[in-house]
Chains A and B, each alone.
Chain A
Amino acid sequence: MNNYDVIVIGGGPAGLAAAIQAKKDGASVLLIERENRLGGILKQCIHDGFGLVRFEEKLSGPEYAERFIDEFNSLSIEALALTFVTKIKKNGDIFEIHVVNREGTAVFNCRAIVLATGCRERTAKQVFIHGTRPSGVFTAGTAQHFTNLLGELPAKKCVILGSGDIGLIMARRLTLEGCKVLGVYEAKPSPSGLTRNIHQCLNDYDIPLFLSHTVTRVFGDERLEAVEISRVDEKMRPIEGTQQTVECDALILSVGLIPENELAEELGVSMDSGTKGPVCDEKLMTSVEGVFSCGNALHVNDLVDYVSESGETAGAAAAAYKNTERTTVKLERGQGIMSLVPQMLDLNGATSSVTVYFRSADVLNNCALIIKIDGEEKFRKKYAFLRPPEMERLVIDFSAFNLSPDSKIVFETEVTSV
């Protein structure tokens, strides 16, 4: 009774989509969620803008999640909420998933795992902010949890560091709750969040954005009293002598997301330094047979629509998973590519319509994505612009390229003449 074809770990948008797809494809499915409700981080994302690609309408996070939860429930998929995976062991072809919850401990067996564990936020110390340890320093997601789930105001006068999307969303959200947002400071010379969020969350509310600035120090023994802000050089190092002190009672950090892959690493999954997620093939199977990855655990997405899509890809593949041998070839990041998914192709599988996601390393205008195979350009797509914060998606027919395991497939960007 504890045996399933597919076990999905994580009940956010990726996990929900994976479980639904696997179930639709005929697999027996169990979804394990550590929180008490399904929906993942969407539960606290009460702003709109979700689902534009998939549903062609603007939904709030909970509304978007609700559509999947409704479908999940209508398919009678088994789910365990408030249940935590403590370890995963591989026993032959079977994975043993050890969990703990209020009922006790249990072990579930499956032949395929979908890891949909999401991501976590980078913290103040990980961006080397120094000084004291007062209260009032929050990651944007934590501030959002307090504001939207607990209905508690975490700040009255705040500085936001980092122009990632959650930071921008929180700038607007806190303003609406009566908090004075003094400014959003970004160490990079260009914003990290989506352009639409710069307009809708900052410009519309007269919240200033300071590029090439960062917070270097916090002050206050009890609650935060002020932050020190410095200009940074092109390598993002603070420039001595440019420090200014800004009085505030909160510092909200939106300085990057890190895919959560502690379970994956325990399973021996190979990781990619570009995405900080597992190396996957076009079916989103990791380097470990039977272990699939999707959503923000795979790579940090900026649109939930693509999170769901990758969940469906992984869910379908997990349902269809048979332990057949793969013949893989690498997809490599070349000049100008910051991240690329998938990182390999299984030549034994269907490669005629592979969904590829990539981010450029720099802001580029009038440019192109190029795929070179063994040094020869085989594919080109023009873009008016490419920006690191905006992930690009395209579908490529690799079957046309006559690939072998020895093929050297490199993705690059190129600036075309104006």
Chain B
Amino acid sequence: MILNSKSRLPVREHASLFLSWMTMLMVFIAVLSLVGLMALTNLIDSWNRSISGSLTIQIPTYTIQGDSRGDAVQQDIDRTIDLLRQTPGVEDVTVLDETQMSDLMEPWLGASEKITDLPLPALLDVSLDDSQPFDFVAFKNQMQEAVPAAQVDSHRVWLSHLIETARAIQNMIAFILFLLILTTSFTVIYTTSSSLALQAPVIKLLHMMGARDTIIAFQYAFFNFLKALGGGVVGFVLALPIIWIASTLFNPVQDPLFDAARLSADQIYIVLAIPLMAALFAFVAAFLTILKTLGRLV
């Protein structure tokens, strides 16, 4: 039996006002946290993609020996290749030969130049295995020990540092979000219990009049749902200007680095669902609490 609006459970408005306020606040913080978390996750994924796939290592020539492809250079190349072979996540290593170097330099030096006469560094093209993690920072440190003069793509290392920092922030936001969900859960349960104490005489009366436990619980829980949904929607709307301001600050046109932070359609749906999820939680919490209370009656 679904009671109509006239016959819904007579609950006191002020008893559940606290629930609306709490849900509003929690949803407000949750939306901001989740949007931040999602944007950061997107950025990290994007940065990860940009540093995956391949890597270039430069080994400079030693002009004092008068031979740019001398033994010392070859030893550095060998040591680098050995190190790469021992490093997880490395798929293949290719040392660029003269033809490849000529092709690479052609736009600047022209086709006829003999590049062997120039003090160009030896270039190692490293293919990375996407299915395995590759630790840029650790690899760079190892390279500095093994071949101090070698240069690993510095922007990638810088980006990997950025990723590490971003991941730390990501974990922190995730932890805050977890705490928030936990706090919200306890708050909703506590609010429901407190409110139930005020409603107890009414609920007991309905029980004695022959209303089924599930109907009483449903009515009360549905009221809780509406109150929480109302508060949640307000909290969501209040969070929108802040998200807009943040997105303006990281405008992709001004800084392409943050372009990938845009939320996908699926992520937007998840954020949109936060007020509904909070309201559903309030519903379930109230429903179970009331059923438990009614279960203690005869």
Q: Do A and B bind each other?
A: no
Residues on B facing A (Cβ under 8 Å)? none
Residues on A facing B (Cβ under 8 Å)? none
